[in-house]
Amino acid sequence: MTTHDVEIAIVGAGFSGLGAAVKAQENSFDDYLVLDRGTDFGGTWRDNTYPGAACDVPSHLYSYSFALNPDWTRSYSHQEEIHRYINAVADSHGIGDKTWFGTEVTRARWDSDADRWIVDVDRDGTAVQVRARHLVGGIGPLCEPNLPDIDGIGAFGGKIIHSARWDHDYDFAGKRVAVIGTGASAIQLVPHLAEAAGHLEVYQRTAPWIIPRTERPYLPAENWAFKHVPGLQNLIRGSIYTANEVVAAGMTYAPKALKPVEALCRANIFKGIRDPELRAKVTPTFAVGCKRILKSNDWYPALDRPNVDLVTTGIDRITAEAIVTADGVEHPVDAIVVATGFHVTDSPVFETIHGADGRSLARVWDEIGMQAYKGTFVHGFPNMTLLIGPSTGLGHTSMVYMIESQLNYLVDYLEKTKAEGIVRTDVRLDVQKKYNADLQDKLKRSVWVTGGCSSWYKDAHGDITTLWPGFTFDFRNATRRFDIAAYDVVRGARTPKKTTEPASVTS
């Protein structure tokens, strides 16, 4: 088997993995390698190409602070433009030269004798072993599509498409189509399918709260100003950021303060739907903010179309040609679109990462819950940093801000451990436990706990382990410096730097 030695292995070439590569390079940690199973940069923004895929965070904030883009064409960007942006950032920093695409990590394990990560990869069908001092997980929580566990789904004889793996060759024109799910992806794709399909049934288990989307194209004069007026883009970023943090305060500390948002959502329903019965069906029964607050102007009008039915009776099973609801009614369909989200707290990737005692991340988190220290380091998994790790997700603002906070922490960790000759860094279990107990304590008052909904924000233990409870600037402050006292460290002689050519050995 071929082996390849690097100082830093970065898994994933999406927003977080690419950011890690750029920051490593900028800070003279040039010996890195990015591994990604796809064909280019973009992660979730490469994979989610369903019609209408777009971001619900304004463009100026949903971008790296170190790569502002004056050329955004709209106030909210669509998938293709974000995908192009991410690839342009990669190109301008030359990250592609140190990236292996078509490369799937099959297993990663910590080698305590060598103080290195042994990362087994499948590179276009060839097994390669990458050995790295540091492992950076930029795998993202939205990468493994979740197929609903519905009786008979495997036997469906028509077309099944997951929103994150769109089949652009399938022609929906005139077909009988069902969409399962009414989350962030479904509300974007349904209005498009409603136009193409002969008949569309939308299966809603839980109605989401939806505010209007204030999207518009930018005028040429605005793009000119973004490019030429010093500080303008940062001013816009700052104002969007500040407005969003007000929502964070409501979600975390005072859910009742979100009542005006609920009023806005109710007005959106009233405006978009004429039928009082349908209005009642789409009105959520939990507190606004408990699940992600969605943004759309065309979801309610789509549901109000004559060729669209909203089905709120639960799905009992799926047969070769129909969906059968709990009331025994058969709904014949040609195609089923599953917009049922991702394996966030139970990603199969967690099974493939094995720490110092040989246990997988999945097993460890099964036992103690999905936890990390500062969303980044996990006890028992030395020298591994997770980007968008546990308790870093957001329901109100840009994940790129959180990623950049973690990148500060990552760079400071790399610098401090290098300066002090540290070869092994493992967060102390007592520190990790206390950190997470404090987070859970803080969450008690939050809308995610008190709001009366069930959501993927919770792990198998019923704890909210995906979200950051508070202001994002608090997370930025917490990750500004690598706090070495929180870690058990081992100092030692560093392995001499490898030559640029990978060594080949047979196993």
Distance between CA 72 and CA 87 in Å, rounded?
A: 14
Q: How many residues does the chain have?
A: 507
Of residues 185 and 406, the one with the C-beta less far from ligand NAP: 185
Cβ density class 90-104: b for 16+ within 10 Å, e for less: beebebeebbbbebe
Of residues 181 and 470, the one with the C-beta less far from ligand NAP: 181
Of residues 340 and 392, the one with the C-beta less far from ligand NAP: 340
Of residues 268 and 383, the one with the C-beta less far from ligand NAP: 268
Of residues 13 and 339, the one with the C-beta less far from ligand NAP: 339
Distance between CA 99 and CA 11 in Å, rounded?
A: 10
Of residues 206 and 408, the one with the C-beta less far from ligand NAP: 206
DSSP 143-209: -SB-----TTGGG--SEEEETTS--TT---TT-EEEEE--SHHHHHHHHHHHHH-SEEEEE-SSPPP
Of residues 338 and 410, the one with the C-beta less far from ligand NAP: 338
- Please list, in sequence order, all residues whose beta carbon lies within 8 angstroms of the beta carbon of residue 408, skipping any fewer than 6 positions away: 476, 479, 480
3 state DSSP class of 330: strand
Q: How far is the CB of 48 from ligand NAP (least distance, A)?
A: 7
Q: How far is the CB of 222 from ligand NAP (least distance, A)?
A: 22
Q: How far is the CB of 337 from ligand NAP (least distance, A)?
A: 11
**Closest CB to ligand NAP: residue number:** 183
Beta bridge partners of 458: 464
Q: How far is the CB of 315 from ligand NAP (least distance, A)?
A: 6
Q: How far is the CB of 394 from ligand NAP (least distance, A)?
A: 8
Q: How far is the CB of 27 from ligand NAP (least distance, A)?
A: 29
Beta bridge partners of 202: 179, 310
Q: How far is the CB of 158 from ligand NAP (least distance, A)?
A: 17
Beta bridge partners of 105: 121
Q: Can you give the binding site for ligand NAP, defined by CB under 6 A?
A: 54-56, 142, 148, 150, 163, 180-186, 203, 205-206, 292, 315, 339-342, 456
H-state helical runs in 384-496: 399-419, 429-443, 447-450, 472-478
